Amino acid sequence: MCGIVGYTGAHEAAPVLVAGLRRLEYRGYDSAGLATLDRDRLTVRKRAGRVRALEELLESESAPGRCGISHTRWATHGPANDRNAHPHLGGRGGAIRVAVVHNGVIENHAALRRELESQGFEFHSQTDTEVIAHLIARELETTDDLFEAVQRAMPRLEGTYGLGVISPSRPGEVVGARFGSPLVVGLGEGEHLLASDPVAIAPHTAQVAFLQDGEVVRLTPHDFEMRHLEHGPITPRIDRLDWKPDAVELGGHAHYMIKEIREQPETIVNTCRGRLRRSEATAVFGGLNLSPRQLRRVRRVVFAACGTSWHAALVGEYLIERLADLPVEVEYASEFRYRNAPLDDRTLVFVLSQSGETADTLGALREAKRRGHPTLAIVNTVGSTIAREADGGIYLHAGPEVGVASTKAFSAQVAVLTLLALYLGRLRHLSFPDGLAVIDAIEQVPALLGEVLKTEPLIEEAAGRIASAHSALYLGRDLHYPVALEGALKLKEISYIHAEGYPTAEMKHGPIALVDRHTPCIFVVPRGSLHAKTLSNLEEVRARDGLVISVGTEDDQAVAGLSQVFLPIPEAPEVVQPLLAVVPLQLLAYHVARQRGCDIDKPRNLAKSVTVE
């Protein structure tokens, strides 16, 4: 949610920090700031509002120095204003000893504030972060070692934190610390970086080290060291980002969201590359860390996820039950972690998260592990906390997704779940010809997605029929019910129009009361096994003067004849239809939001990576 960028090296820090913050704008924030060190001179600049406001301030009031930290804040304690913006300073008696930026929530901040105030520390904000700055400053009164001071202060903190810290007493040094909020170190040539997301540092280096809970790092331009609070010095694992530096740039597109929608043919190719084995009519995965014998023993699969990942998991439920004849349950991770869900020893738990840092999903993973279940992850970010803590898993290889409203990551998750359903099916009862048919279908998808994307002008025109609506219904059956849910979520997220997704047959059990000429009903109805049953539902909406917008197979005259707006997708086997049908809904939401003048990549109140409960 909040964003951190730190830098120490041969270049001026402020431009590097601001550029990094711009790459983190997708996370959601309400203020931005930075602190730099020019030898022992500390400069702080911060402003409520967008990063652009900080840039305008820096044009008139520079921040010199080749070492610094920066932050975008999403308010938790105190309103969005200049005073509550990060960085925050620590010291007493007029001496400024430290500047701190912080992601997370300190649960015992009130008690710490009272303690520090009683010792003469003055507070200038309403944030929980300022107590961290004063705690570290207090330690610096007895040591000149910032690295040591941070380690002494950390045990006093209850809650979650990712920290970036600098001190005038340690020019050229940045210290980071993590507990429950992600941090990554970027290892460059004559420079090192610290960030809450690898997106911020991808243009500088592909070599990264992810901090784990309880770890602290000291960065200088030419060196870095890491320690664990309990275990002492550690040798970190160095990972390599598989992103091209320009993958986090707009590249001529108006918004990241539309860029990522248009990248989906390539995304499916990358996600499926090397994972289809025609000679055995199955899929292959290198990281599940469970043998075919162990997987054949599984009698139940549980998926835990949040938001868009939850919708992708629902598609996976339909596919695995259909192809592998295994019962599947899809749980909200935020609920799963706190209720006593009965899980026997033949249950396999999967968690899904694009970032690999979603707090509720990580909590669900840890709960399943505590109960002794084999726990696998489907994530997009190499080296993320969920990827490291899971017993095994599958990377999406979707590349960085910057837009808050997930698009290509959803498609990558659905593609992986399709492969997983094929793999589990072939371990059980799915025949060789049927397995080969699934592979044939998957291999068609990138080209078919290219055809869907060509219909964007038609979808942009259709968006004008929805842009003035106050509410919309999304309806689909079977595999397309989760697609309807995802379409409704996309519209809500970026256009602020209320939308709900339902199984199509459920419409007459309540939602039909909402149908009138002002409420668009968006049906997902490609040709398939339940096609005929859905036609009567379209008739019901038409009979009540409702606006019918449908996503259907391109030559389906029956659906087109019942729709005021018909959005075609190519003919395709049912097993891959969700990958095609979701794209018109993504484009529809995008163009509705654009016509309404919404901030598409940074929708209000939302964050890309939800790293607090």
DSSP string, 55-74: HHHHHHS----SEEEEEEE-
Q: Are 365 and 389 in contact (CB under 8 A)?
A: yes
For this structure, is 490 an active site residue? no
For this structure, is 608 an active site residue? yes
Computed over its alpha carbons, how large is the radius of gyration of the chain?
A: 25
Distance CA 53, CA 508 (A): 50
Q: Are 195 and 20 in contact (CB under 8 A)?
A: yes
- In a 10 Å sphere around its CB, with 0-12 CB exposed, 13-18 middle and 19+ buried, how is residue 31 labelled? buried
Among 259, 492, 602, 608, the one annotated catalytic: 608
Q: How many CA atoms, within 13 angstroms, populate the side-chain half-sphere of residue 232?
A: 0
Q: Which helix (H) or strand (E) holds 471?
A: strand 471-476
Tokens of 501: 């997704």
Q: Which is nearest to 361 in space by CA: 332, 328, 403?
A: 332
Longest dimension (CA), the chain: 80
Tokens of 230: 């309990």
Place of tokens 């917008």: 549
Q: Are 479 and 574 in contact (CB under 8 A)?
A: yes
In 74-128, which ranges are E strands?
Answer: 88-90, 98-103
Place of tokens 């869900």: 341
Among 2, 272, 521, 598, the one annotated catalytic: 2
Going from the C-alpha of 217 to that of each of 94, 171, 191, 228, 303, the distances in angstroms are: 28, 16, 14, 9, 34
Distance CA 335, CA 325 (A): 26
Which residues are marked as active site? Answer: 2, 608
